[in-house]
Amino acid sequence: MPQNTIVPIMSGVFVSIMSGIVIMLVKRGWTKKEAELNRIKDLEDQLNDVRKSLWTIKKTLLISAKILDEQTEREHPELSSNLEDIASELLGESNKG
């Protein structure tokens, strides 16, 4: 009789060990995937911050060009630099490329 009970016990131990290994591997995969998703979200947030900064810089450049145009026109009405138009055109071209 003792030999007949050893086989089911050994089978139960083997199944338990294999189940534990499978569960550990699945959990490790989920953890890695979760870490990757968090990293991607952080990169997207950083990219959005860079885009906002770029937008602010472009607007600042346009405002500066407009102010400089107005001052040039006030001081030298015979000159026409059209910096605002040039800046707008260049920024528009940089958005396309």
d(CA 13, CA 72): 88
Q: Residue 92 pLDDT > 60, yes or no? A: yes
Alpha carbons 49 and 70: distance in angstroms, whole number: 32
Per residue in 16-27, pLDDT tens? 989 988 988 888
- pLDDT value, residue 46: 96
- Is the model more confident about 92 or about 60? 60
User: Does residue 95 register a pLDDT over 70?
Assistant: no
**Residue 70 corresponds to which tokens in the numbers above?**
């107005």
Closest by alpha carbon to 70, among 59, 58, 84?
84
Domain ranges of the chain: 2-96
The DSSP letter of residue 76 is -
Residue pLDDT, tens place only, 46-86? 999 999 999 899 888 888 888 888 888 888 777 766 777 77
Q: Is 37 helix (H, G, I), strand (E, B) or coil?
A: helix
